[in-house]
Amino acid sequence: MQDFVVVGGGVMGCLSALNLLEAGCRVTLLERGECGREASWAGGGIVSPLYPWRYEEPVRALANWSQGFYPTLAAQLLAATGIDAEVAPCGLLWLDHAERAQALAWAQTHQQPLSEVSSPFIYQRVPQLASGYQSALWQADLANLRNPRLLQALRARLLQFAEFQLHERSPALALLCDGQQVTGVRTATAEHRADAVVVATGAWTGDWLAQAGVTVPVVPVKGQMLLYKREPGWLKSVVLHEGRYAIPRKDGHILIGSTLEHAQYDKRTTEEALQSLRHSAETLLPDLAAMAPVAQWAGLRPGSPEGIPYIGPVPGLDGLWLNAGHYRNGLVLAPASCRLLADLVLQREPALNPQPYLPAGRL
């Protein structure tokens, strides 16, 4: 039985651990805080890149695989834990979008059910929208999920395995090495030995691996969001305009997002972002002007070049593996990314072509 240490308890770390456990491995997961409380918790949960036609093929391939697998994953987690991640196919409207021709051409090439709709359809679907929208791109099958609940379900499922150990509030301080062979991870209180180490530390990946002499161009990119509360069913679909979106939850909560800020590791919310996001919310959905947001928060995305993650072995350090750098699409790409990582680590036939994601040649 192989032993693994996974560093990072976000969606990448938890789902990587689950894939390894299901393959019969032993896994120790180290999380500096609480599982699922960083970017995986803070995101919106749209199961699609915001503008999928803008991304290169490697991102599209991961997104397409993950979109197909999410309903199965949610059903499996619900059956095992009783926690519903609420994967809901609510559809998405891109309102009055300037890249209409590019998007429709992309959809035709990749056989995606994206179509152009006119004003009557838009207001029949979302009557609460501000007036004046003339056309939209519409994809009916796009889903959103309740990301905090997904992470709760993943954590609960992991703890059901006898071969799993979870160490929260246990920052990983350094890799343990025997020459060029990585043999585990050191924390303040213990040395955790393993056959291999998986680094899934999100926005902290670049700085964390720098101490091992590995340069990974992953940097924190801050995003702030607002939350409103309406009655269930008030907003039926995700709406997106000029980079800002409104996402409905089943219980009537509505997420408004998000900002894009380079502020290092500063997760403080700001008045400037509050006003900007409120303006976007009220511009899209004027009825929200009479309401105060019920919450504002910030998270740190793991920014990377072109948003293409690093998945695979780190050259020069045997036994060290990466699953990081998903930028704005961590939740979107997680099922495929973690399946691919497990396939590579366990030397199985990979579910996707691994070449675009391998750290070798990119670091």
Which is nearest to 46 in space by CA: 242, 249, 221?
A: 249
pLDDT in tens, 250-271: 999 999 999 999 999 999 999 9
| Contact present, 335 and 15 (Cβ < 8 Å) | yes
Mean pLDDT over each residue of the chain, to the nearest integer: 96
Q: Quote the tokens at residue 295.
A: 């919450």
Report all structural domains of the chain as residue ranges with CATH numbers, in order of start: 3-75+147-216+305-357 (3.50.50.60), 92-140 (no CATH), 219-303 (3.30.9.10)
| Closest C-alpha to 143, from 249, 259, 254, 58 | 249
Sign of CA dihedral 94, 99, 102, 104: positive
pLDDT at 97: 83
Tens of pLDDT, residue by residue over 50-66, are 999 999 999 999 999 99
Q: What are phi and psi of 188, to 5 degrees?
A: -65, -20
**pLDDT tens, position by position, 178-232:** 999 999 999 999 999 999 999 999 999 999 999 889 999 999 999 999 999 999 9
In three-state form (DSSP H/G/I as H, E/B as E, the rest C), the secondary structure along 49-63 is: CCCHHHCCHHHHHHH
Query: What is the DSSP-derived secondary structure letter of residue 311?
Result: E
pLDDT at residue 124, as a whole number: 97
Cβ atoms of 20 and 27 within 8 Å: the answer is: yes
Strand 3-7 versus strand 26-30 pairing type: parallel
Please say if the pLDDT value at position 157 is more than 90: yes
Question: The dihedral of CA 191, 197, 198, 201: what is its sign?
Answer: positive
- Output the pLDDT for position 133: 96
Output the pLDDT for position 363: 86
The pLDDT of residue 1 is 87
State residue 171's pLDDT score: 97
CB atoms within 10 A of CB 136: 25
pLDDT of 302 strictly over 90: yes
Query: Does residue 312 have a pLDDT over 90?
Result: yes
Residues 139, 353, 47: CA angle, nearest 5 degrees: 25
The pLDDT assigned to 329 comes to: 96
Structure tokens at 20: 């390894």
User: What is the per-residue pLDDT for 47?
Assistant: 96
User: What would the DSSP string read from start to end of 100-123?
Assistant: HHHHHHHHHHTT---EEEEHHHHH
- pLDDT tens digits, 15-46: 999 999 999 999 999 999 999 999 999 999 99
At 4, list the tokens: 């693994």
